[in-house]
Amino acid sequence: MKMDYQFPAGFWWGSAASGPQTEGVFEGDGKGASIWDYWYQQEPEKFFNRVGPEKTSQVYTRYQEDIQLMKETGHTTFRTSIQWSRLLPQGKGEVNQKAVDFYNAYIDELIANGIEPFMNLYHFDMPMALQEKGGWLNRETVDAYVAFAQTCFTLFGDRVKKWFTHNEPIVPVEGGYLYQFHYPNEINMKHAVQVGFHETLASAKAIKVYHEMNLGGEIGIILNLTPSYPRDENDPEDVKAAQIADAFFNRSFLDPAVKGTFPEELVTIVKELDMVPAMEADDLQTIRENTIDLLGINYYQPRRIMKKESPIDQAKSPMPDDYFDNYDMPNKKMNPYRGWEIYEKGIYDILTNTRENYGNIKCYISENGMGVEGEERFVNADGVIEDDYRIEFVSDHLKYVHQAIQEGTNCVGYHMWTCMDNWSWTNAYKNRYGFISVDLANDAKRTVKKSGRWFKEVSDNNGF
């Protein structure tokens, strides 16, 4: 059977998830509190239907069943994260042996079933013991993180050969220190800059340690790259506004990760605002010398930008939004449940950018997906969710991934978010993303959706 879209041999097919969004919390598991456990205790009303992080999809006890379902849905690779607060309940110091046993069993089970584990180290889940001392604002957290990373490499690096330092490091910056959707919920640009710097430094230091350990694998970072498109490409002010948005939200982490330097536009703004982060003499050299082997790209939606036309909100200023406005483009294609634009060509533009401006670094699509509310409406007589909209979403994006590869982009895999419906920060289980449904009302029963069966065919054929 001829495939219209054939992918390179050995292409990685799979999905992504995270520890805090899937594992759950169990009596006697020894896990320490993260900022999510704490915030939910403090303000449960901020979480959709008051569903907290302890209620996640119970992978801690059901990973064997889940890995069989991964096989059924064509996974050759799978990314999750090691919860810092599970492995080191205080963020540093004593290792929780029950966590070691769990992650060892989980990793071994994946490998035994022909699924390569990709492990990420930080997915928004700061241990509360460290957050109480400032979290990423505190230089000591960088050292604690590097020790955590080294512990993970030592314990699991004989089998795990794909490591990632952070998932979407811009999100703790935006959510925690600018736009108030993650704990500690501040609006403080100076803090945001310091947090971003410490995350970048922590990543570089962990990369250095990993390379020194000679474990024979690769280490990278996972970034949510959201292309910034100017409202009018012929208006220099719109174009400049889009470049600044791009520097804030994309190149702030992409440039240091791949090139070892920060974007000039961003450095200029930070200096003008007198917000240069506190750093030690050799920090910039550490960042320059310890760049990634592999780039994970999360893509969901584009950013539409125009020059600043609305008044600056003086109560919140300075903010990134002082330099541009978001443009509400008419007639755009939307995912109505998530309120996000669907723009498939964005994935091609990102990949082309990595080829043309970032040395054609080895990369893969580490997340791409569609969250839909009320999927039970699409259940057929056999109890299967017929999510044709998800099949269409994924295949339309894969066509553009294929085109970029044909043109020479070094893209080696595709992971959808997510394997099975999982808990999402403040949205809980409102929007479902999985190839596999999780029925919370029925003992978290798992059922493969139509998209999961389709993905197995894609993976088996290495194309569609």
Beta pairing partners, 298: 224, 367
Q: Is 12 helix (H, G, I), strand (E, B) or coil?
A: strand
- Asked whether 219 and 196 are in contact (CB, 8 A), the reply is no
- Active-site choice (23, 174, 367, 375): 367
Round to whole Å and give the CA distance between 168 and 403.
Answer: 25
CA dist., res. 15 & res. 449, Å (int) = 14
DSSP 188-246: -HHHHHHHHHHHHHHHHHHHHHHHHHT-S-EEEEEEE---EEES-TT-HHHHHHHHHHH
Return d(Cα 60, Cα 102) in angstroms, integer. 7
Please spell the DSSP secondary structure of 380-425, one letter per residue: -TTS-B--HHHHHHHHHHHHHHHHHHHTT--EEEEEEE-SB---BT
Find residue 219's DSSP bridge partners.
163
Q: Tell me if residue 158 falls in helix, strand or coil.
A: coil
3 state SS of 444: coil
Write the DSSP string, 327-339. ---TT--EETTTT
User: Which 8-state DSSP code applies to residue 428?
Assistant: B
Tell the burial category of 138 from Cβ atoms under 10 Å away from its Cβ (0-12, 13-18, 19+).
middle
Among the listed residues 312, 340, 334, the one whose alpha carbon sits nearest the alpha carbon of residue 325: 312
Q: Is 45 in the active site?
A: no
Cβ neighbours of residue 203 closer than 8 Å, sequence gap 6 or more: 165, 166, 169, 221, 257
For strands 431-432 and 372-373, give the pairing: antiparallel
Closest by Cα among 192, 194, 204 to 256: 204
- CB within 8 Å of 431: residues ≥ 6 apart: 337, 338, 371, 372, 373, 424
Joined together, the tokens standing for residue 176 give 């925690």
Give the orientation angle of helix 59-72 with respect to helix 97-112, to 10 degrees. Answer: 10
The residues carrying an active-site annotation are 367
